[in-house]
């Protein structure tokens, strides 16, 4: 029985890297934005929205992914801001996944810019998995112009942790026997899925490193952090279940989720976020010429409990407003008013575009909404994702990552 072996392939500053490659093709004399303080963000002109990706020089100024653009500009006034172009990211993502499938028996896309490659049993094809990872990394750069990090381990958690080590354009290993020297000295907030609030609660317990967390009493952690305490302890020990990092295959379902920087306790705020998520999911469906027959909502509470609810749609659709209406209905039925840590929207049973099944009370609304979405897609494809916004989102600085 071959030992499990996983690669985690992660594009370095994906959105910014893909913008840089596109810019080099259209404007060869332009500076490489990856070598100067720059960032891809929401609506650069109005300075609303958040930082979606930043260059390494921008990171040196303290610019972080997910922070408001106005805050990033205070840290780095000369920061070059670029609008996002979702179609460009989808195109590059597909190229990357297709390339990985040439070599890996199983490729599990984890987001638009990262994937797990299950390399178990490929020892005869690639006798030295580390050497082959370097070859794969270099081949991707030569073929497409952007760099990746590759993490290698015996499970998905450790492979993903390894890919987050020194960047860019690196290969790192994190096998179980390396956990103590490579992972345990890291700050506890560097552990996967440990957010700011959880890190602060761990600090209050005197736990400041991943190693200290791994060597803590799990019952103590459970008493203070609930289920999240046990999950964090297991991750610190390098353990994860097979299903925790598995996503629905790309051609079966379309989804988007976001871990919130602050707990959400207001339904109207949650629904604004859900609308943004619905816009992303619906635009992906339309881009692929698909319509979904099922939609679901996921809520993760601050104690790390997941709650999901789904429904079958009256007719397959890719219209944002129609998905959002059902999502709000599901949210209202699901939410028990506990603080929200994560929100997600997912669709399933996606099929090639088929005729819409009208009801007696439609009165042409579906066709109008389809035309509206088509017009919005056209504007955003040309001028960027933030070139046009729904009125309900104008004063909302939140924008989900296009994953």
Active-site positions read: 114
Residue 95, classed as helix, strand or coil, is: helix
Give 208's strand partners. none
Please name the residues in contact with 311: beta carbons below 8 A apart, sequence gap of 6 or more. 294, 295, 296, 326, 329, 330
Q: How far is CA 293 from the centre of its chain?
A: 23
What's the CA gap between 93 and 23, in Å, rounded? 17
Query: Could you tell me if 156 and 116 are in contact, meaning their C-beta atoms sit under 8 angstroms apart?
Result: yes
- Closest to 327 (Cα-Cα) out of 264, 271, 376: 271
Q: Tell me which H or E stretch contains 291.
A: strand 290-301
What's the CA gap between 357 and 347, in Å, rounded? 18
Please name the residues in contact with 296: beta carbons below 8 A apart, sequence gap of 6 or more. 308, 309, 310, 311, 330, 345, 346, 347, 348
Residue 173, classed as helix, strand or coil, is: strand
Count Cβ atoms below 10 Å from residue 226 Cβ, excluding itself.
Answer: 15
CA distances from residue 97 to 69, 102, 107 in whole angstroms, order as listed: 31, 9, 7
Query: Could you tell me if 153 and 134 are in contact, meaning their C-beta atoms sit under 8 angstroms apart?
Result: no
């Amino acid at each position: 029985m071959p030992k499990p072996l996983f690669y985690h392939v992660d594009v370095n500053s994906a959105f910014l890297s893909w913008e840089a490659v596109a810019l080099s093709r259209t404007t060869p004399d332009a500076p490489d934005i990856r070598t100067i303080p720059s960032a891809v963000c929401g609506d650069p002109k109005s300075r609303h929205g958040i930082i979606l990706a930043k260059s390494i020089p921008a990171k040196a100024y303290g610019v972080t992914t997910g922070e408001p653009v106005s805050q990033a500009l205070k840290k780095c006034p000369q920061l070059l801001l670029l609008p996002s172009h979702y179609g460009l990211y989808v195109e590059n993502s597909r190229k990357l996944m297709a390339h990985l499938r040439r070599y890996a028996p199983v490729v599990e896309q984890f987001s638009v810019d990262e994937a797990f490659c299950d390399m178990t049993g490929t020892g005869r094809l690639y006798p030295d998995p580390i050497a082959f990872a370097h070859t794969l990394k270099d081949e991707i750069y030569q073929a497409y112009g952007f760099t990746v990090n590759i993490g290698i381990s015996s499970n998905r958690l450790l492979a993903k942790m390894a890919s987050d080590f020194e960047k860019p354009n690196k290969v790192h290993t994190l096998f179980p026997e390396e956990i103590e020297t490579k992972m345990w000295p890291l700050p506890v907030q560097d552990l996967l899925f440990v957010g700011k609030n959880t890190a602060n609660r761990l600090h209050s317990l005197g736990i400041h490193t991943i190693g200290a967390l791994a060597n803590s009493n799990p019952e103590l952690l459970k008493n203070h952090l609930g289920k999240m305490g046990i999950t964090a302890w297991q991750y610190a020990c390098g353990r994860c279940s097979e299903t925790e990092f598995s996503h629905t295959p790309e051609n079966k379902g379309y989804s988007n989720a976001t871990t919130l920087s602050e707990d959400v306790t207001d339904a109207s705020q949650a629904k604004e976020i859900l609308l943004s998520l619905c816009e992303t999911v619906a635009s992906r469906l339309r881009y692929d010429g698909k319509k979904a027959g099922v939609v679901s909502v996921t809520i993760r509470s601050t104690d790390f409990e997941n709650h999901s609810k789904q429904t079958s749609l009256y007719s397959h659709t890719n219209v944002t407003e129609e998905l959002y209406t059902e999502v709000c209905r599901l949210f209202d039925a699901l939410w028990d008013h506990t603080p929200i840590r994560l929100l997600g929207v997912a669709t399933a049973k996606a099929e090639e575009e088929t005729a819409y099944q009208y009801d007696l009370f439609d009165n042409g609304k579906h066709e109008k909404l389809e035309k509206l979405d088509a017009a919005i897609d056209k504007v955003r494809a040309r001028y960027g994702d933030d070139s046009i916004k729904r009125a309900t989102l104008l004063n909302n600085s939140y924008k989900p990552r296009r994953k």
